[in-house]
Each structure stands twice: as C-alpha cells, then as structure tokens.
C-alpha cells in the first residue's frame, strides 16, 4: 500500500500517487479541489444509486421510441421545427442536444453518461446476467477493437444518412444497441465487455475524460500500475486498488463506499490535470492513435459535404469507371449500406459509397500522419534537449496535448445542429462564428499549456520547451485549419 502525506504532497516510493488513507483515518482534509462539494456529490450518488436501474429502464424506453416511431411517420415538411414535428424533434435531440452535451459533460463529470444514463451499456449488462457468460476472447480485448468499431459506425453513419433520415438513425443506433446486447449476452461474467472493449463512443469519451474535473481514486493505492481485472466489483474490469486512469471508469458508484477504508472516492481536480501528469496515469499508444485517426475520420465525414475537391474527384472516378465499362458504379446499393431515399430526393450509388468511404479514410490517414509527424518532431526535440525516457514514451505522452483542440473541433463539427438552431432562433451568424473561433483558439492554447507541462515532467528546461512545443502547436493549428470550413463555414 502506498501512503502519501497529502498536506505536504511528499511521499516515499509512491510519491505522486494518491494515498488518501491518511485523510480517511485521521479526518484531515480530503484531497482535491472543493472537498466539501465532492463529499456531498459522493454521498448523494451512493445513497440513490439503487435507483439507477430505473433510470436506465426509462432511458431504454425513450431510446427505442426515438429510433422506432419516426420510421412510421410521414416525411416532415420543409418548414417543420422541433416544436411541431416529432421526427425533427428526435433528430434535434440526437444531434443538437445529446451529442454536444455528452461531449461537454466529460469536462465536468467524466464518463457519467456511460454509468448513469446510457441505455446501451445498461442493456448489455442486463443481457449478461441471463446470457452465456463466456470468457472474453482476445480479439475483443485487442486495443484496436474500439478504434475499428468507431470507424465502422462513423463511416456507416455518413453513407446511410444518420443525420438526415430516420432509417439511418434506426440502423446506426439500433444496430449499435443490438451489438451491445449481443456481446453482453455472450461474453463476460457480470461485466460490461461492450463498454470496456467495443463501444464506438466509449473510447472517444474515455480519452476526453482524461481532461475532466472528476476522478475516482483509490483510498488505499496499491503499487504496480493500472491493471485489468475480470474479477471484482467493477463492471468495466478495473482493478480498484490499482486504478490510475479515468478512461475506463463509467462512474457507476458501485465501488464508492464513503464509510469504508477501501474502494474509490470522488475527487475533484483541475480540468486537464490527468493529461498534464499523463505518465502517472497509464498513457496508452492506442488512445493516441485513436485521437489522431478518429478525429480525421470524423473530419472527412463533414468535409465531403462542403469541399469542391470531393465533387471533382467523384467526377474523375466516375468518368474513369465508365471509360472502363464499370457501369455498375452508377447503380444504387442496398439500403442498409447507403442512403436510398427517393422520396427525399437522395439516392446514393456505389460511386457515392466508394467516394465517401475513401474520402473519410483519406482524411483519417492525412490527419493522423500530420499529427504523428508533429508529435514525433516534438518527441525528438525533447530528447535532444534533455527529455527523459524513450522516444516512444515521449511520443505517447506528447500525443495527448492534442486532446483539447480535437475535442472542441469534434464538438463544433458533429454538434453543428445546435449552433444552426441558435442562428435560426435569431442569433447573429457572425457572433456564433466568433464564438466557435474563440473556442478553438482557447482549446489550442489549452493544448499548448498541457504540452508544456508534459515536457516539464519529461525534464525539458523552461527555455527549451518552446522549441519542443513548436511542432505540437503546428499540429493543433493543422486540426483547426482542417476543421475550419466545417466549423465556421469560412
């Protein structure tokens, strides 16, 4: 067990780790910011967590209504609004409210959505209780599984029109629910294999929860680093006494017992603290590559709608295919693979499908290559200027500096319907654009500050950090520049 005097911030071999058994047993101050507020929140959720199954059930019913009922309703008229049309209201609820708020929530409450409200994770766990409970196979535990899951859902969402058509919403969200229930029924024993290993949005929220102001920390911290444990109370297989990272914690409060010397406790912290001290919180290369690739794929999913380069390349590919007698590219494909909605004047062909998939994967590769180059240069420069550790270790740590700008760009791009509604309600478009630009600028500066703190912990001197920070700043500007047409419309 590691114990550290939280009043002085010094310890022995476990210096830098949380060892709050001192405050628990002696009654001294709870570690973290606003300890009184943390204590109140902890007491509230532990007292009422027995009602969470009812919340999950209500969310499950609401979710089914939202994805099924619009399938049986007529197309909304062009002047329909969320206030007078159910289908439009559902679309706005998904893309104007749910998505932006879930993204924002990770800054203030971590992955609380996953443990408190998400109907998919809860349904997966319910299925697990009556299912086969087989051992979770290696291919599911593979770190790349949630990355593949995210890419499939993100690309499929674009090809079937998930933002525009009820059938697309039903297929993507209903299919994800079915996959969650199926995985829960087959694999794991009283666990959420889906939430830990395969949820397409779980890894996204998990990476950004490292920026969050909420941390569930062990009361008795055991040495050895973060560990995977299929036995124990945690539904996402976290070894409670060795917990270090926020990524997998869904904040279900099952491991929180205020009167017990064991388990976890709720600690409030400054946003970005975990990223700034990432070497103490189990940095993961797969997370960094997901941050690069996932942001690029989501970016491509919006740029194909507005950039003229997409239409230019589409025309060139179509002409080449016809010249080579590949006339099938002009035929529509199956409804479950692409948007086939003649009633809404939208019918995708195999040419459209190929171009959308290729465009998104191309942007994913381009952005990942650019950010990897910037991170690699920062890591190399840091090493030349006295930075500790291997090149790979510095690379992984410095990759997290792009988390703020990536999160804000995804929020503004994928949650654009919220801002469109604000403009439609009468807010000046220029003012909304300035607000978006200010958010991106603030996120860029935040990432720069986090990068500086990461370099400081690597041992790079104050005056040398500006040289190692330059490539990272260029990478953040690259993200902002790439998202600019989709976010600001300029």
3-state secondary structure string, 403-439?
HHHHHHHHHHHHCHHHHHHHHHCCCCHHHHHHHHHHH
CB atoms within 10 A of CB 346: 14
Best CA proximity match to 280, nearest among 239, 245, 240: 245
Question: How does residue 16 score in pLDDT terms, banded at 50, 70 and 90?
Answer: very low
Please work out, in degrees rounded to the nearest 5, the angle formed at the alpha carbon of residue 444 by the alpha carbons of 443 and 450.
Answer: 85
What the block records as the tokens of 69 is 């009922």
Best CA proximity match to 334, nearest among 347, 322, 318: 347
Partners of 158 in beta bridges: none
What is the mean pLDDT of the segment spanning 196-203?
A: 92
What is the mean pLDDT of the segment spanning 156-171?
A: 93
**Taking the alpha carbons of 348, 67, 87, 418 in that order, is the dihedral positive or negative?**
negative
Per-residue pLDDT at 20 exceeds 70: no
Q: Residue 444 and residue 450: Cα distance in Å, rounded?
A: 10
Kindly report the pTM of this predicted structure: 0.89
Best CA proximity match to 159, nearest among 350, 412, 415: 350
What is the mean pLDDT of the segment spanning 289-296?
A: 93
CB atoms within 10 A of CB 141: 16
The 10s digit of each residue's pLDDT in 267-287 is 999 999 999 999 999 999 999
The 10s digit of each residue's pLDDT in 297-347 is 989 988 898 889 999 999 999 999 999 999 999 999 999 999 999 988 899
Per-residue pLDDT at 472 exceeds 70: yes
Output the CA–CA distances (angstroms, integers) from residue 429 to 92, 104, 303, 342, 363, in the order listed: 19, 22, 20, 32, 28
What is the mean pLDDT of the segment spanning 92-115?
A: 90
**How many residues comprise the chain?**
490
What is the mean pLDDT of the segment spanning 154-177?
A: 94
Residue holding tokens 């997998």? 248
Q: Residue 286 and residue 144: Cα distance in Å, rounded?
A: 7
Best CA proximity match to 250, nearest among 268, 231, 237, 267: 237
Q: Output the average pLDDT for the chain.
A: 89
Question: How does residue 488 score in pLDDT terms, banded at 50, 70 and 90?
Answer: low
Domains of the chain by residue range? 285-487
Q: Residue 221 and residue 396: Cα distance in Å, rounded?
A: 24
Rounded to 10 degrees, what is the CA torsion of 38, 400, 381, 372? 180
Per-residue pLDDT at 26 exceeds 90: no
Q: Residue 322 and residue 316: Cα distance in Å, rounded?
A: 10
What is the mean pLDDT of the segment spanning 129-140?
A: 94
Q: 103: exposed, middle or buried (C-beta count within 10 Å: 0-12, 13-18, 19+)?
A: buried
What is the mean pLDDT of the segment spanning 375-381?
A: 97
DSSP state of 30: P
Of all residues in the chain, the percent with pLDDT exceeding 90 is 71
Three-class SS of residue 161? coil
H runs (alpha helix) in 187-250: 193, 202-209
Per-residue pLDDT at 12 exceeds 80: no
Position 223 scores a pLDDT of: 85
């Amino acid at each position: 067990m590691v114990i550290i005097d939280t009043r002085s911030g010094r310890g022995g071999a476990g210096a830098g780790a949380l060892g709050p058994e001192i405050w628990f047993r002696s009654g001294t101050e709870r570690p973290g910011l606003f300890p009184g507020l943390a204590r109140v929140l902890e007491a509230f959720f532990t007292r009422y967590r027995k009602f969470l199954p009812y919340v999950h059930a209500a969310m499950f019913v609401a979710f089914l209504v939202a994805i099924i009922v619009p399938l049986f309703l007529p197309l909304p008229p062009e002047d329909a609004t969320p206030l007078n049309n159910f289908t439009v209201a559902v679309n706005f609820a998904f893309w104007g409210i749910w998505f932006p708020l879930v993204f924002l929530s990770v800054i203030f409450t971590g992955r609380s959505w996953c443990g408190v409200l998400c109907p998919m994770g809860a349904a997966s766990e319910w299925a697990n209780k009556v299912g086969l409970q087989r051992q979770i196979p290696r291919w599911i535990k593979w770190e790349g599984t949630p990355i593949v899951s995210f890419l499939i859902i993100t690309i499929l969402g674009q090809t079937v029109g998930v933002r525009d058509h009820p059938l697309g919403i039903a297929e993507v969200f209903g299919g994800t629910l079915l996959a969650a229930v199926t995985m829960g029924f087959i694999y794991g024993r009283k666990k959420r294999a889906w939430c830990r290993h395969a949820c397409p949005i779980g890894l996204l929220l998990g990476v950004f929860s490292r920026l969050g102001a909420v941390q569930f920390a062990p009361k008795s911290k055991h040495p050895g680093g973060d560990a995977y444990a299929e036995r124990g109370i945690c539904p996402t297989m976290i070894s409670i006494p060795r917990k270090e990272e926020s990524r997998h914690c869904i904040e279900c409060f099952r491991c929180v017992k205020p009167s017990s010397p064991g388990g976890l406790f709720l600690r409030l912290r400054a946003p970005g603290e975990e990223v700034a001290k990432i070497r103490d919180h189990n940095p993961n290369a797969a997370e960094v590559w997901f941050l690069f690739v996932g942001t690029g794929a989501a970016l491509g999913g919006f740029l194909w709608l507005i950039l003229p380069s997409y239409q230019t390349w589409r025309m060139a590919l179509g002409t080449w295919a016809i010249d080579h007698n590949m006339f099938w590219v002009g035929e529509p494909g199956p409804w479950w693979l692409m948007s086939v909605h003649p009633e809404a004047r939208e019918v995708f062909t195999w040419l459209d499908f190929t171009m959308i998939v290729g465009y998104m994967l191309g942007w994913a590769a381009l952005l990942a290559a650019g950010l990897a180059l910037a991170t690699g240069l920062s890591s190399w420069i840091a090493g030349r200027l006295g930075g500790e550790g291997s090149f790979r270790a510095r690379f992984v740590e410095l990759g997290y500096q792009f988390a703020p700008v990536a999160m804000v760009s995804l929020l503004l791009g994928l949650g654009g319907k919220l801002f469109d509604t604000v403009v439609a309600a009468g807010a000046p478009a220029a003012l909304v654009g300035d607000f978006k630009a200010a958010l991106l600028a603030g996120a860029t500066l935040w990432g720069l500050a986090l990068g500086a703190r990461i370099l400081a912990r690597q041992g790079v001197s104050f005056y040398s950090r500006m040289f190692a920070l330059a490539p990272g700043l260029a990478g953040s500007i690259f993200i902002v520049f790439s998202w600019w047409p989709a976010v600001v419309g300029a």
